[in-house]
Amino acid sequence: MTQTTAESPARKQRAQLKVRTLRTDRWWLAPALTFAGLMAFLIYGFWAIFDGSYFVDPYIAPFSSPCLATSCPEGARFLGLAPFGDWYGLPPGLLILGLPAGFRVTCYYYRKSYYRSFWLSPPACAVAEPHKKYTGETRLPLIIQNVHRYFFYGAIVIGAVLTYDAILALIHKPGGLGTWILLVNAGLIVAYTLSCHSCRHITAGRLNHFSKHPLRYRAWTFISKLNAKHQQLAWASMFSVMIADFYVRLVAKGVITFPYA
């Protein structure tokens, strides 16, 4: 025979707090800084997409690579190809914007960052959010976040393109400061992409016996170490791509003109 004990009315109700939080630290600082950082990236990205100074041989600005139309300067065309031909005359960045943007927007870390800083859902741990209802990511528009794994494949392509651009700059201008800026940026972009949770799962996340797949286990171990730094790599790569892009545009505009630019 099972004996049950009736719960007291007090245990059935949540604590009735009249304040938003009992925290006394500066909990608002982290979401405020996150908001400022993400807004800076959005504003710069919008400007860069429509800025025409994106190529100076052998550098091409990351926000405009790959360049795939005949409207692009000949040296800026990816592998010398222009598959979009003459009909496309808009900024080259618009063609490929959806891949890296979609990857970052649906990234698990970035979801946390902009949910907290833009939507205050919640703004911090142990701080009440202003929304009355919570549905998670179970309906539109947030259910679309589930396509993150597919954006990962596109991000791999973009990482490969930026690595190609950096290696090309290294071949043609090994002493250029821009070359090393592009190389560092490509390294951070690739590291951030590989540190993705989806990459870790694809590598060996569904295996039941690691001992039967030693190579995949080693790859999973390496990706897991990167995954532990996913947040740091997200921010580092975000700022590195802005710095690299802005540097190339300054050289293209003639603002930076020293011999080893």
Distances in Å between the alpha carbon of 66 and those of 128, 160, 166, 179, 190?
A: 44, 10, 12, 17, 16
Average pLDDT over residues 178-187: 98
Identify which of 77, 33, 70 has the alpha carbon closest to the alpha carbon of residue 54: 77
Average pLDDT over residues 84-109: 89
CA distance 239 to 41: 8
Identify which of 157, 159, 160, 147 has the alpha carbon closest to the alpha carbon of residue 111: 147
* 19 or 67, greater pLDDT: 67
Check: CB of residue 227 under 8 Å from CB of residue 205.
Answer: no
Tokens representing 154? 């596109």
| Residue in the block written with tokens 């080693």 | 218
| Residue in the block written with tokens 């109700």 | 13
pLDDT for 15 beyond 60: no
Check: CB of residue 195 under 8 Å from CB of residue 233.
Answer: yes
Band of the pLDDT at 9, cuts 50, 70, 90? low
DSSP 8-state secondary structure symbol assigned to residue 231: H
CA distance 230 to 239: 14
pLDDT at 209: 85
CA distance 232 to 109: 10
Band of the pLDDT at 13, cuts 50, 70, 90? low
Mean pLDDT for the chain overall: 89
pTM to 2 decimals? Answer: 0.87
Contacts of 240 (CB under 8 A, 6+ apart): 184, 185, 188, 189
Average pLDDT over residues 189-212: 90
Q: What is the pLDDT of residues 48-58, one digit of tens each?
A: 999 999 999 99
CA distance 99 to 157: 9
